[in-house]
């Protein structure tokens, strides 16, 4: 009989000034994954452009598969003055399928779905997509708001811009519904790669680019980012929307909606305002 395998989470409390040092050390010791979470539940909503948001106190966890090295790691952490350390043994499992316990096929509106692998595709327009490193698979209220609006649109022949594309879920959904062209924009190369991979998986064509290009006006613009960038990008997004086209904004907290309404008030007719779980979707007909 094959020996049962155990894994170990080594969790360390640290401060932001020592985060890089600790992460690098865990990788050097042979961690198979390293995760970083806030130790004090202090949310960061609006990081500045190009700023890496880091909390004052941070919990860093390395996953290890070799029991024999755990005591040595604990001693080395103490020697490096990482004092608050906790080790938890966890049973072996099929890690790459663990997310199936939390992610199921999700419906948006009447017939638009996001379906992870391992499930039978439902009836309707199905975006095949698994949770990944890039944001945006429909699990957050901001993405749900956009997907539900997309479900209700007839986009046959539309040109579409997915600005701040993340996983590409909005642009891919539009392509599956009949959009003639989709341009996905993001300032994170990882998001652009994820979008291309997801587009190939769904057998649709999506063009990707960084934000530093001139964008031809399109029929439908999605910008699911954050309120600060939406305000800063208002002229860009309005110019990217054709006359009589649709501009869909999300990533806006309910407390920020007046700020966005004031910023975009001259951009066209506000035709939709919906709130969900403290987040807002705004749609203009330009």
For 28-45, give the secondary structure using H, E and C.
HCCCCEEEEEECCCCCCC
Q: What is the fold of 6-92? A: Alpha-Beta Plaits (3.30.70)
Nearest 5°: phi and psi at 78?
A: -65, -40
Q: What is the DSSP letter of 255?
A: G
Q: What is the DSSP letter of 5?
A: P
Signed CA dihedral, 29, 35, 36, 39: sign only: negative
d(CA 195, CA 185): 10
Sheet holding 125-128, edge to edge: 106-108, 112-115, 125-128
Q: What is the pLDDT of residue 52?
A: 45
pLDDT tens digits for the chain (286 residues)? 344 556 788 888 887 778 778 888 888 888 877 777 655 443 443 444 444 444 556 778 888 876 667 888 888 888 888 877 788 877 655 544 544 555 678 889 999 998 877 677 778 899 998 755 444 555 678 888 999 999 999 999 999 999 999 889 999 999 999 999 999 999 888 889 889 999 999 999 999 999 988 899 999 999 998 888 899 999 999 999 999 999 999 989 888 999 999 999 998 999 999 998 888 999 999 9
Q: What is the pLDDT of residue 24?
A: 83
CATH label, 137-285, candidates 3.40.50.150, 3.40.50.720, 1.10.10.10, 3.90.700.10: 3.40.50.150
Q: Which of 58, 24, 53 is nearest to 38 (CA)?
A: 58
Q: What is the pLDDT of residue 93?
A: 55
> Where do the domains of the chain lie?
6-92, 137-285
- The answer to whether the CB of 155 falls within 8 A of the CB of 220 is yes
Q: What is the pLDDT of residue 3?
A: 47
d(CA 258, CA 280): 11
Strands (DSSP E) found in the chain: 6-15, 33-38, 57-64, 85-91, 106-108, 112-115, 125-128, 159-163, 181-185, 207-209, 218-224, 241-253, 269-276, 279-285
d(CA 178, CA 183): 14
Other residues' Cβ atoms within 10 Å of the Cβ of residue 162:
32
User: Can you count the helices (H) and strands (E) in the chain?
Assistant: 8, 14
Sheet holding 57-64, edge to edge: 33-38, 57-64, 6-15, 85-91
Other residues' Cβ atoms within 10 Å of the Cβ of residue 169:
29
Radius of gyration of the chain from Cα atoms? 22
| pTM of the full structure | 0.66
Q: What is the pLDDT of residue 280?
A: 94
């Amino acid at each position: 009989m094959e020996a049962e395998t155990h894994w170990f989470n080594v969790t360390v409390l640290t401060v932001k000034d020592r985060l890089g040092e600790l992460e690098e050390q865990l990788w050097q010791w042979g961690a198979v994954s390293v995760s970083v979470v806030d130790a004090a539940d202090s949310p960061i909503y609006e990081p500045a452009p190009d700023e890496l948001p880091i909390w004052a106190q941070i919990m860093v966890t390395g996953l290890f598969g070799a029991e024999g090295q755990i005591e040595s790691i604990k001693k080395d952490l103490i020697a490096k003055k990482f004092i608050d350390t906790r080790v938890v043994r966890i049973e072996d499992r099929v890690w790459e399928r663990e997310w199936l316990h939390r992610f199921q096929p999700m419906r948006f509106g009447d017939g638009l779905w996001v379906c992870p692998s391992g499930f039978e595709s439902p009836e309707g327009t199905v975006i095949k997509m698994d949770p990944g490193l890039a944001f945006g698979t429909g699990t957050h209220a901001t993405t749900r708001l956009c997907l539900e609006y997309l479900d209700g649109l007839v986009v046959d022949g539309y040109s579409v811009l997915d600005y701040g594309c993340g996983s590409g879920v909005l642009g891919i959904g539009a392509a599956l519904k009949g959009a003639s062209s989709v341009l996905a924009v993001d300032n994170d190369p990882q998001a652009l790669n994820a979008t291309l991979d997801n587009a190939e998986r769904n057998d649709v064509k999506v063009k990707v680019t960084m934000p530093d290009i001139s964008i031809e006006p399109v029929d439908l613009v999605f910008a699911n980012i954050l309120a600060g960038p939406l305000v800063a990008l208002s002229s860009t997004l309005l110019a990217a929307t054709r006359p009589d086209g649709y501009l869909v904004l999300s990533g806006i907290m309910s407390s920020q909606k007046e700020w966005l309404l004031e910023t975009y008030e001259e951009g066209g007719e506000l035709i939709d305002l919906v709130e969900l779980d403290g987040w807002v979707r705004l749609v203009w007909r330009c």
